Structure 1
């Protein structure tokens, strides 16, 4: 009987371990040593309508299809409980393989066109770029 309980316990342990690993997210991929994260934070003017905001967001999300140097785009609205956003409401993180690719993006006609769409509606803007220095 003691052996049966041990076998059942081991079987349950292996099943729960397998289930945990099966449902786990894949480990995050480390950036290339030269990758650049381009972070853009927007605060929109109060008169920005939901329809205008949707147009702006759609235009930003279309940039990777127009600019080959953009390797990834993530974005979202602020949900931090820390109250340090200074009115910034929307954040975007664009990934480039290198500073050279980021530098090609900045004057790109599609990026300039996006600037004409978003520019009149921006109350404040913060941009920060970095290359991963984590070991």
Structure 2
């Protein structure tokens, strides 16, 4: 079946402080400890020189073993509670789930 990646692109509202963003990122990362199907979490800020980010500034990547695991994560009370606060401070958000495909050279 292979792993499934859950990608969230975000742009925080202008009035949200860096301290608030840091706190939210720690909360997002902590979901790994509460939602069993969530296997890993990584994040980063846009560093592209192409200027094609369309305003998105942050990327969050979670790894799951199955699409059913993502469904469990989405409805898990810890995620629901976190997401309600997280989404409220975003100006823009985009979510994509995909199964990575390895291409042989």
Alpha-carbon separation, structure 2, partners of 1:85 and 1:133: 23
Q: RMSD of aligned C-alpha atoms? A: 1.1
Shift, 1:74, TM fit: 1.0
Decide which structure has the larger Cα Rg and report it.
1
Indicate yes or no: 2:11 matched with 1:43. Answer: yes
Indicate the SS of the match to 2:101: coil
Consecutive unaligned residues in structure 1, runs of 5 or more: 1-32
Alpha-carbon separation, structure 2, partners of 1:80 and 1:66: 33
Higher relative contact order (CA 8 A, sep 6+): 2
Answer 1 or 2: which has greater helix percent. Answer: 1
Shift, 1:114, TM fit: 0.9
Report the equivalent of 2:27.
59
- TM norm structure 1: 0.72
Counterparts of residues 100-115 of structure 1 (less than 5 Å): 100-115=68-83
Shift, 1:109, TM fit: 0.6
Alpha-carbon separation, structure 2, partners of 1:113 and 1:76: 23
For residues 33-90 of structure 1, what are the alpha-carbon distances to aligned partners after superposition, in whole Å with 9 as ceiling and x for unaligned?
A: 4311000110011001122112211111111011111111111111111111111111
Report the equivalent of 1:77.
45
Consecutive unaligned residues in structure 2, runs of 5 or more: none
- TM norm structure 2: 0.91
